Amino acid sequence: MLRETINGETGLLVERLVDNGDGTGTRTTYDEHGNETSVEQLTGLPIPDLPADPDLIPPDPTRLRS
């Protein structure tokens, strides 16, 4: 999951949160000029429930298909 927070006045990115879906993620914050100011590795994020039927689990978009 990707969530971005945009400053309503400037239209610049303020924060980007990337949730890997496995309880980990990354939060990146930006200053008023759009420069990256910090990157924080996150743990303990909620892990979404997956369907019991493996056919209903969406494919992993990071895997290449042959």
* CB atoms closer than 10 angstroms to residue 57: 10
For residue 50, the model assigns a pLDDT of 67
Mean pLDDT over 31-55 rounds to 86
Is pTM beyond 0.85 here?
A: no
**Per-residue pLDDT tens digits for 44-65:** 998 877 666 767 666 776 665 5
**Per-residue pLDDT tens digits for 6-22:** 999 989 999 999 999 88
